């Protein structure tokens, strides 16, 4: 049997994404409404879905938990706006931008590369555009978000980034 040909770059491209301001937000219905107003979008209420407004994003991670993303330069101002909007409404808002980095996997074989180490069904019918979830890629916890039919964004703890990049690079070479 002949050795597999490595994937062409356009079939599965890997690239790191710019740093983002990142917050883990938790709260009830009123806190969600207030936080969404400060963020400039309606936070998703449907399980495992994302909402976007420009470069600001809210990723639903649990019944009362969202990962909020914004350009890095907006972090302090966004945190102040969120806290002002939320006031005395019970909530939790924790800045986690220091711990996480993001990588994008794009191309016709992006899902195949990810499935080399991710147990989810990444067929577009099962994991459509706009879907997000906390999962694993081999031994690393990630937040996976499908942003386009052939594009996935992975949010990874900074300490796991070398492992994830090496794994994805090797997976791409073996397909």
Q: List C-alpha distances in Å: 27 to 24, 65, 82, 129.
A: 10, 7, 12, 26
From the centroid of its chain, how far is CA 154? 5
Tokens of 136: 């694993």
For tokens 């996997």, the residue is: 105
The arrangement of strands across the sheet holding 20-27 comes to 50-53, 56-62, 65-71, 20-27, 91-95
Q: Structure pTM? A: 0.91
List the pLDDT tens digit at each of the 175 positions of the chain.
334 444 455 689 999 999 999 999 999 999 999 999 999 999 999 999 999 999 999 999 999 999 999 999 999 999 999 999 999 999 999 999 999 999 999 999 999 999 999 999 999 999 999 999 999 999 999 999 999 999 999 999 999 999 999 999 999 998 8
pLDDT (0 to 100) of residue 175: 85
Q: Tell me if residue 149 falls in helix, strand or coil.
A: coil
What's the full length of the chain, in residues? 175
Question: Domains, the chain, ranges and CATH?
Answer: 12-16+99-174 (3.30.1360.120), 20-95 (3.30.70.1520)
């Amino acid at each position: 049997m002949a050795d597999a040909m490595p994937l062409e770059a356009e079939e599965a491209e890997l690239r790191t994404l710019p740093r983002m301001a990142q917050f883990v937000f938790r709260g009830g219905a009123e806190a969600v409404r207030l936080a969404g107003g400060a963020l400039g979008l309606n936070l998703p209420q449907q399980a495992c879905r994302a909402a976007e407004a420009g470069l600001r994003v809210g990723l639903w991670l649990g019944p009362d938990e969202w990962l909020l993303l914004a350009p890095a330069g907006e972090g302090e101002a966004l945190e102040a706006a969120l806290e002002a909007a939320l006031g005395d409404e019970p909530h939790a808002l924790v800045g986690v931008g220091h711990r996480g980095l993001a990588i994008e996997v794009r191309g016709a074989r992006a899902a195949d590369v990810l499935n080399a180490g991710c147990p989810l069904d990444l067929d577009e019918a099962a994991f459509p555009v706009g879907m997000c979830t906390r999962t694993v890629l081999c031994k690393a916890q990630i937040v996976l978000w499908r942003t386009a039919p052939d594009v996935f964004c992975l949010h990874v703890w900074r300490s796991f980034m070398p492992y994830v990049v090496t794994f994805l690079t090797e997976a791409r070479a073996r397909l």
